Amino acid sequence: MTDAYTGSLAAETICESSLYNKDLAPVSPDRRTWRTYNYAALWISMSVNIPTYMLASGMIAGGMNWKQSSSPSSSATCSC
């Protein structure tokens, strides 16, 4: 079942598992169509959300101006 040297499972064993699902399996390399633009668009869309705005508005409510509150919000977005 497990290769003694590499510790990896054979593809046949994985496909026969009751936990295997074709919809959740990794896509083969020839079917991967995402490029840099797609990953950048996903990252931007995930960073523009309600918690980001709540963080900035909470800092403004705490006494910071918009310039001071945008710096921590931006750095938190870039660190993801």
Q: What CA–CA distances, in Å, run from 8 to 13, 24, 26, 28? A: 10, 19, 16, 18
Rounded to an integer, what distance in angstroms lies between the CA atom of residue 9 and that of residue 77? 37
Selection from 79, 72, 80 nearest residue 54 by Cα = 72
Averaged pLDDT score across all residues of the chain: 81
| Span 7-42, pLDDT tens digits | 566 777 888 888 888 888 888 889 999 999 999 999
pTM of the model: 0.47
Give percent of the chain with pLDDT exceeding 70.
Answer: 85
